[in-house]
Amino acid sequence: MASEAARRRQELAAEGQRHLEETIAAAFQILVSMNDELCNAGLWSSSSVSAAAAAAAAAGPQHQHSATPPPPHSADSDAADGGGAPGPGGSLDEARHRYKSAVAALRASITAVSSCAQDIGSTESEADHAEIERLEERASALRKEIESKNKQVKLLMDQLRELITDISMWQSPCSV
Q: Span 152-175, mean pLDDT?
A: 85
Name the percent of the chain lying above pLDDT 90: 16
User: What's the pLDDT tens digit per position in 123-135?
Assistant: 666 777 888 899 9
For position 78, what pLDDT does the model report? 37
User: In this predicted model, which residue has the larger pLDDT, 56 or 128?
Assistant: 128
Q: Please state the φ and ψ torsions of residue 70, each to the nearest 5 degrees.
A: -65, 155
CA dist 153 and 143 (Å) reads 15
User: What's the pLDDT tens digit per position in 90-106?
Assistant: 788 888 898 999 889 88
